[in-house]
Each structure stands twice: as C-alpha cells, then as structure tokens.
Chains A and B, each alone.
Chain A
Amino acid sequence: MSTTAPVGERPRPTIVLVGHGMVGQRFLEALAERGLTATHRVVVLCEEPRPAYDRVQLTSYFAGRTPEELSLTDREFLAEHGIELYVGDAAETIDRTARTVTAASGRVFAYDALVLATGSYPFVPPVPRKDAEGCFVYRTIEDLLAIEAYAKSRATTGAVVGGGLLGLEAAGALKGLGLRAHIVEFAPRLMPVQVDDGGGAALRRTIEEMGLTVHTGVGTQEIVIGTDGAVSGMRLSDGSELATDMVVFSAGVRPRDQLARACGLAVGERGGITVDEQCRTVTDPHVFAIGECALAADGRVYGLVAPGYEQAQTAAAALAADRTEQLAFTGADLSTKLKLLGVDVASFGDAHGATEDCLDVVYSDSRAGLYKKLVVGRDGTLLGGILVGDAEAYGTLRALTGSVPPVSPESLVLPAGADPGAQLGPSALPDDAIVCSCHNVSKGTIRGAVTEHRCTTVPEVKKCTKAGTGCGSCVKALGQLVTAELEASGVEVDKGLCGCFAQTREELYEIVLALRVTSYRELLDGHGREGARGGDGCEVCKPAVGSIIASLAPTIGASGYVLDGEQAALQDTNDHFLANLQKNGSYSVVPRIPGGEIAPEKLIVIGEIARDFGLYTKITGGQRIDMFGARVEQLPVIWSRLVAAGFESGHAYGKSLRTVKSCVGRTWCRYGVQDSVRMAIDLELRYRGLRSPHKLKSAVSGCARECAEAQSKDFGVIATSNGWNLYIGGNGGATPRHADLLAQDLSDAELIRLIDRFLMFYIRTADRLERTSTWLERIPGGLDHVRDVVVHDALGICAELEELMAAHVAHYRDEWAETLDDPEKLARFVSFVNAPDTPDPVVAFVPERDQMKPDLPLLAIGRRPLEDALEGSTPR
C-alpha cells in the first residue's frame, strides 16, 4: 500500500496525473517507455469508478463486450512501474503556489509536474426539463449501463439529439436495444461536420433503410414529461411533438477545464486549457494539459483519440527533456470512420475542400446509396475526401493524403470493377505513409514488423506495432500489407490444404480414391500432419474432404448422402441444413428448375408456399426462384410440400452443380438451330448433386447469338447447325473470364462424354474453392493440356473418368426427399434443442415493397477482414 507523501517532504520528484481516460493511460505508458516511472513518483487521480477503458469502442458494449474487455489498464503494468492509482477519487482543487492537488477524498498530493487529462463532458443544450428522468448522455460505461437499464425496463421509443458521429452511434445502440429510434439533428444533414450535402443524402438513405427515423433541420425546444415526471416526448422547433420514452443528448462535447479555470490557468474563449507545442500550459511551466481538455498550440481542441495520444507522447517527452528528443504537437488529422454495422462513412483530410484553389472529384449513385468525393489540389495532391456507402479505400486514401496518388483520382472513386486497371491497394503507398493514424504507424514500420520481427499474421503485427488497435479502420489495409510483404520476402509457402493436412486437395483426392478412405477421421489420423492427428480437424479441411468423399462416394463405397453419420459433421452450415444461411440466421430455399423451364402448376405451388410461409421471393440470376426468410424448423415443412409437388433440391447451398441456364432455342426462336432447352435440362439432370471443389454453372444457347451467356460458364454449350460447341473455364463473378472453346460440332453423345471427362478431371485436380476458370489458368499446359487429357486421352484416364461419372449418375438421389424420410435427421431442424417448438426470436422481419426483409440488429462489432473471403473460404 502506498501512502500519501506528506506535503513538503519529497523523496522523489512527483508527477500527478489528473484524469485516467484514454489519453491519461497513454501518457502513463509514455512515461514508462521513457524510464520516468523509475525516477519519479507517479500519482493518478481517476474520477470514474473504474480505471481507463476504451471509450472509442464504448458502443461495442451493446454488441456483447464487457466493461472488463474494454479496459485499457492492466494491474501488472501499474504495479511494475509503481504507479499509484486512486480510482473513484477526483481532483477537487489545485494550489499552484504550494504545488498541491487536493482530491475529493481529502488526500493532498504535492507535485513537481501536474498533467491535466480531464477529457470532455457531453454538452446538453439548455432546454427546459433536460434533466428529467429518461434523459441521458453518452460518454461513460456508467451512462451506457443506465441507458440499457432504462431501455429494457420502461422504453419502446428513444430519440437522440444530435446527428453527428456519436449521435448515430447512440441511435444505433437504441435500435439494437429493440427501441424505435429517432435522430433529431439541427443541421440540414447528418454528420454535418464530416460530410457535405451529397454525402449527407446518401447517408440518410442508408440510415433510414435500417429502420431509424431521421429529422433534420429541426431543433429541440423542450422535453415533455408525463404525470410521473419522466420523459414522454420532445417539442421540436417546427412546432411538432415527437413522442419518445427516452432522450439521449449527443450534441457535442466541451473540454473539462473547470479545475484549470479555478486555479487561474488560461483557457480559450470557447474553452480548453491553453498549451504550447510541448503541451505545457502557457500560464504555468509546471502544469501540462493533454487530450480533449487541451486547447492545442494550433488553436484547436481535438475531439479524437489519435491527436490526444500524440499529445501524451509530447508531454512525456517534454518531462524527460534532458534525455530524449523533443517532440512538438502542432496539429493533427481529423479523419474519421463510422463504426456501425452496415454504414460505411469515412471522411479524411480536407474533406470540405477548404484549401484555396482545390478541385473536387465526385462519384454519386443515389440509388445505391453511394457517394464519394475526393478533394485534390491544383498539382494533383490528394487533400482529403468523403466516402459514403463504400469506404473500402479509406485506409489507402487516408495514407495517401498529402501526396500525389500514383493513379488518377477518378479511378479512385469509381466503383470497383469499373476500371480494374487502376485499383490501388496499400502496396502502392510510400514507406513513410501513415497507415494507422490512431497510433501513427507508417507503412515502413508495418513492413519491418514482417521482415525484421518475423510477424506473419495481422494479430502479431497489431501486437508488435500497436497498429490497428485503435478504431480498427486500418485493419483491412494491414492484412493486405502483411500478405504482400510475406509474398515479396519469398517466405516458403506451405502448399498443404490447411493446418491439418500437408497434402494439397488433389493429393488427398488421390489418397481417398486409391485407398478407398471413406471417413474423415481415418484420413486425418492416418495422413494428417503430426500435431493434427487425433484432433478435431478444422473448418477448412472438413468440408473439402467431405466434398471429395461425396464426389467419389459410389466408387469408394461411401454413402452418397451428405448428412449420413460422420459426413454430417463435415458439411458447411449450408450443406448441413440443405439451405443457404442468410445474414440474420434465416435460410433461403431454392428448388431445382432444370433449364429454367417451369410449368404453371409448379409456379403456382411455389407461389402458394411462399405466401403461406410469408417468404420473400425473387427470380435469381440463375433462372430460378429463391424463397428467403425460412427459419430452420420451417425447412422440412416447406420441403415436404415442394417434394410432394415434384420439386427437388436445387443445391444452391452446395459446392456442386447450380444451374444450367438455357435460351428458348429452336422450338420457338426464329434463329435457333438446336433444342437448347432440352439439352440444358438433360445436362442439369445428369450432373445435379455432383459435389465439386467449387460450384459449377452451365448454360446452353440455341445459336451463336448466345442469349444464355454460355461463354461465362464453367462449361457452356452453343448450338451450331452441325451440333454443339463446348466451351470451358468461363466465369462471371469477381474476375470474369470468357470460356475457351474446347471442341466443335459435337453430337449429343459426344458432347456429354466430353463434359463427363472434363468435370471429373477438374474435380480430381483442382484446389479447394478453385473455379474452373482459375484452375484452367493455373494447371501447367492450360487449355492444351486439358484438351490432350479429355479429348485425346493423353493420360489414358478417360475410361476411368467416364466410369466415375456413370457411377455418380446412377446413384443420384434427392437429398431433401432422403432427409424427409429420416426422422432422426429431421430432429436436427429446430432452432433450439431444448425447445423444439420455439422459433428463434432474433429472426425477425420488416415489410418492404409488398414483401419482407430481415430486421437486423444494427449493432454488432461490424465487419472485419475475414469477410473478404469469397463464399466458404477462409483466407488463412
């Protein structure tokens, strides 16, 4: 236990820190880094009932982060450096002549240096009854606990005063707590400080689509209370009254400078303790001010954490003046990014184009809710910008600010794909570009973490450099840099499928086929990496091996039914429920409609089912109908009706054949030369259910006009007057590729034989999640090799490939019909194992355009880099 040193007796010089917030904690770390904790006594007065925590991530409390997880302080750090922390004890008075601080507890501390890091307080406009029960602010963990308790016990509607960054965050929190949320903003647009009118309009549309109600251009005139004295509404400046059970004020913050004023330190006209470039108060050389309470030498009060961190470093350097370099705080960047799920808004640098003579480059698509603006100097220097709806490029653009980008600004705001040549990643950045502005980490430092400190993953780089541990907005750029650096440094890349298998997918396929391995465990225990044997595998190899076993099932003597025994545990969630998981936990149902041909009776059945279960229906890009919004326990009921009407699984969930699209062809079309619909149906029925490394798509066009877009498919067929042309390796999607012509003027039988061979050769040799297009470009010899193998039988394996396909065709059974016949399997289709009749209450919907859409909890931590993965893949 430390005791308070009596006034006048000073064994060691003492630094007293008032305020243990984010900047205060950073200041303590900076003291420790500079060795000052060894030479000084350090005392910290902390007003809040808990030590420093991550205020920036405050809202993530509602996404399940506990106050402990938000903490920035670890006891060991304090103990190791002998820092005395008084939690729940605020500084009350400062006596600058005696150089003492008196705390609320009555403790008196003498100081040699005093550092004020008292932060801000939320500004509450002076409207009548602003302190009524049900009125809150949004600044501390305690505020959030109070808001949560009130919302859960007595509110259904909440209003936030202020449509800035924090106001939107608060409104999202209210929505996440299940309230109908309103935002009241005095300015004519949301986030008035960061975005301009165009950006505000795009942002408003997105926010409203999420179910929040936005009122702009109106002020709050008074709070209306009910007979119980609690909030019942608010009167707005346009005379209207908004009914609400609670009000959260988020109308900006003001520096907490009362303590400083009271002891005669100079403060700015609009508040803030006036300091010089070393963060020393201009009035008293023994007193410093840092963070949101300080009025910096450039005349500004910064309301963001990154400038505060820089000030913390500066003040610590000033205190260590004789030993380390002098730092100066001369201003900082005000870039920001909204941290709410679903809204991408970012602004950086000179977002409003305040620089003289600057130019704008604007891309705006109001329907898509996109708005991007870059501010560029006459000489081409990127000065700043605003991104709404798609902030992908934020990390790179922010780091490029102040320099002339290597590509034209137009190409930086155009949507991805519009100008693929000019996509600019973080690898284009110079080494001194700041990638993480929260912690001021340059690209060079991040590269060094990989090359010198041997970091190989983003979490390691975060630990090593602190980059990415603030607001998190740079994490995506970090990931790209780490990958690029690893590749460049020629790190021996392990070709193994995953941490469990050292073999490639192709090698595993050969093992399974040659040794007739029918179980995943057998393969893992017998052929896995040393450390993985006997374990539970991983999410990468389980579905990949499950798929290999399923493709080869009839030949190796395994069950072809993907939910059989151990097989069930290997399947991705989609295959496990034979439906596609949607973002809110519900599923979509896609019955097979071969060739896109469907009789009216069957259309009516789909319509009736969708109506009876209230499902959202949409015609897909694959010429069939998708029904969205089914809960797990509804799937079997829906499918029993579909199966009874003659439908079967469309495998929209599987890495397997999806659709064979067709054009109407010779039967109706005046140009058609073959019956493309019949051929499409034949092909779809032949290859349905075939499990493969990735999904397979096909199409058949009735003439060279190509209305079925066959050349964008994994295998595409185009009619000629002599028969069929077969194209392979086409792809739509992210990296479109035109298919290559494999063979011409084939008869029906020749066509099918060639496709059989081609598909089985692909399944045998492709990597996990490798479409035929990438496979064709990767395999040595490319198209010529494939032609040699499947047309000219150069490897002598064509008979085997054909047999494998014949076995698949002979053993095909509809997965849904099979599942409906098996009560044990059906028992899995429940939301809760212990409450089979209770539907998941979180899966909820709201109406839109005569149908429904998911009602999403706005609040989640938000998207992190792993989502960049394509379907089913994990970038590890």
Chain B
Amino acid sequence: MTMAPETTDLQVQLRLAEGWFTVCDLHRLAPGRGVAALLPDGRQVALFRDREDRLYGIDNRDPFTGAPVLARGLTGTADGRPFVASPLLKQRFDLETGGCLDDPSVSVPAYRVRKWAV
C-alpha cells in the first residue's frame, strides 16, 4: 500500500461574507466522513471530503430535528450528486446545494469550501 504524502500545510477554508475562513488542516477530514466547525458568529458548519478529495460544507443543523448533527451522518452519491444522510431521521441533503433530496421544500445553507496552501 502506498501512503499519500500527508501535506499538513494544506488547509481547509470556508467562504464567509467577510472572506475565506480557515477551519483546519486537510488531514483532519477523513474521506467519506464529516466534521463540524464553529464559525465566528456561532453558526456551525458540517464539512465533508469525498473519495476524490472534493470538499463540501453545509450548515450543521438538521432542520427536521433542530439538532446540530449533520456532520455525523453517512455520505454517499445518489444520481451523481454527493449527499449526507442525517444520522437522526435519515433525510438526505445535497452537499453542493444544501437541498434535501427527500423533501424538496427543505434545504440548509451551503458554503463554498477550498483547499489552500499556506
């Protein structure tokens, strides 16, 4: 097995109104899993990394239950769209748009995320 060179200087950044906000080192995101991050204004964002190393960010709050848990859901691909399934009641959310795949009238805010060498 070859080990991917672990470049700790790659950072995950999130686009906020004020500009790019650095969240953490890239290696803190395991492919296929999420982590939660706290924004300066108290909001929470769920960040994900897929197997192709693409990054996504959506609001962490599950609108169906009110609990901030979306970062802890399982991710996957449905019809080519990346999604996370809420760990509580299992509704799926599109990682790029924040739209709920199981109830089109519901969505959560989505963020732009990038890898950034510092």
Is the pair B77, A860 in contact by a Cβ cutoff of 8 Å? no
Is the pair A581, B51 in contact by a Cβ cutoff of 8 Å? no
**B71 closest partner in A (C-beta):** A833
The reply on A785 being an interface residue by CB < 8 A is no
The reply on B102 being an interface residue by CB < 8 A is yes
Q: Which A residues are CB-close (under 8 A) to B108?
A: 64
Q: Shortest beta-carbon distance, B84 to chain A, in Å?
A: 8
A834 to B66, CA, bound (A): 22
Q: Which B residues are CB-close (under 8 A) to A270?
A: none
**Chain B binder among A554-562, A675-683, A747-755, A836-844:** A836-844
Is the pair A572, B91 in contact by a Cβ cutoff of 8 Å? no
A341 to B89, CA, bound (A): 13
Is the pair A536, B32 in contact by a Cβ cutoff of 8 Å? yes
Is the pair A861, B73 in contact by a Cβ cutoff of 8 Å? no
Is the pair B67, A585 in contact by a Cβ cutoff of 8 Å? yes
Q: Size range of the interface on A?
A: 35 or more
Is the pair A835, B38 in contact by a Cβ cutoff of 8 Å? yes
**B92 closest partner in A (C-beta):** A539
Q: Which B residues are CB-close (under 8 A) to A864?
A: 64, 89, 91, 102-103
A454 to B30, CA, bound (A): 40
A833 to B27, CA, bound (A): 11
A641 to B109, CA, bound (A): 40
The reply on A448 being an interface residue by CB < 8 A is no
Q: Which B residues are CB-close (under 8 A) to A832?
A: 35-38, 44
Say whether chain B's binding surface is mostly helix, strand, loop, or mixed. Answer: loop
> Interface residues of B, CB < 8 Å — how many?
51
**A538 closest partner in B (C-beta):** B76
A841 to B108, CA, bound (A): 19
Is the pair B30, A569 in contact by a Cβ cutoff of 8 Å? yes
A744-771 CB mask vs B (1 if < 8 Å, else 0) is 0000000000000000000000000000
With A536-B32, A538-B76, A867-B89: A65-B38 Cβ-Cβ less than 8 Å:
no
Q: Among residues 821 to 859 in chain A, which have CB atoms less than 8 Å away from a CB atom of chain B?
A: 827-828, 831-835, 838, 840-842, 856-857, 859
Is the pair A64, B63 in contact by a Cβ cutoff of 8 Å? yes
Is the pair B78, A69 in contact by a Cβ cutoff of 8 Å? no
Is the pair B104, A539 in contact by a Cβ cutoff of 8 Å? no
Q: Which A residues are CB-close (under 8 A) to B92?
A: 539
Q: Which B residues are CB-close (under 8 A) to A521?
A: 51
Q: Which A residues are CB-close (under 8 A) to B50?
A: 536
Is the pair A834, B38 in contact by a Cβ cutoff of 8 Å? yes
Q: Shortest beta-carbon distance, B67 to chain A, in Å?
A: 4
Is the pair B106, A539 in contact by a Cβ cutoff of 8 Å? no
Contact of B64 among A535, A543, A862 (CB under 8 A): A862
A581 to B71, CA, bound (A): 13
A446-481 CB mask vs B (1 if < 8 Å, else 0) is 000000000000010000000001000000000000
A58-84 CB mask vs B (1 if < 8 Å, else 0) is 000001110001000000000000000
Q: Shortest beta-carbon distance, A566 to chain B, in Å?
A: 8
Is the pair B87, A581 in contact by a Cβ cutoff of 8 Å? yes
Is the pair B24, A856 in contact by a Cβ cutoff of 8 Å? no
Is the pair B37, A833 in contact by a Cβ cutoff of 8 Å? yes
A864 to B36, CA, bound (A): 24
A572 to B90, CA, bound (A): 11
Q: Which residues of A contact B (CB under 8 A)?
A: 57, 63-65, 69, 176, 341, 459, 469, 499-500, 521, 531-532, 535-539, 542-543, 566, 568-570, 572-574, 576-577, 581, 583-585, 827-828, 831-835, 838, 840-842, 856-857, 859-864, 866-867, 869, 874
Q: Which residues of B contact A (CB under 8 A)?
A: 23-24, 28-33, 35-38, 42, 44, 47, 50-51, 59, 61-69, 72-78, 80, 82, 85, 87-92, 102-109
A-B contact pairs, 21 of them (CB 8 A): A65-B107, A469-B105, A500-B76, A537-B76, A539-B73, A542-B74, A569-B32, A570-B32, A572-B74, A572-B87, A581-B69, A583-B65, A831-B36, A831-B38, A833-B24, A833-B28, A833-B36, A833-B37, A834-B38, A840-B68, A867-B90
Closest A-B pairs by Cβ, 9 of them = A569-B32, A538-B76, A535-B77, A573-B87, A860-B66, A539-B85, A539-B74, A857-B66, A833-B35
